[in-house]
Amino acid sequence: MNQTSKAHLTPPKRRLIELMQDINFGRISNIPVRDGEPELTPDTVIEREIKLGGQSGPRPERDQDDFILKQEVVALLEHLAQMGSGKVCLLEIKHGLPFLMRIEERAA
């Protein structure tokens, strides 16, 4: 995934990136992944960190149709592709970018 842009992503991946940009700082938990595609479901939980007296709103890129993806986003998408199917237990977001991911795997 070299120089991947938002416009070239599948709709589920675009939705996840837009959600991360909307959250800006916080966490998303319980994200099912099927065939490398994230699924936002009613069981997906969104936690927002709100900085009192500071900027807590969405990232300005949120409403852009296209831009080159940052390294952290590319790494997240590569991990989802490698994962195949499973669950992201926790995805921590800082400055609208994925920072830390915990995944659930099953022993063979």
**Length, in residues, of the chain:** 108
Give SS3 for 97.
Answer: strand
Query: DSSP state, 64?
Result: -
Query: Does residue 94 lie in a domain region?
Result: yes
pLDDT of the residue at 61:
64
What domain range is 55 assigned to? Answer: 6-104
| Predicted TM-score of the model (pTM) | 0.84
Query: Does residue 1 lie in a domain region?
Result: no
- Count of structural domains, the chain: 1
pLDDT of the residue at 6:
81
pLDDT of the residue at 53:
77
pLDDT of the residue at 13:
95
Query: Does residue 35 lie in a domain region?
Result: yes
CA-based end-to-end distance of the chain: 29
Weakly modelled stretches of the chain, pLDDT under 70: 1-3, 54-65, 108
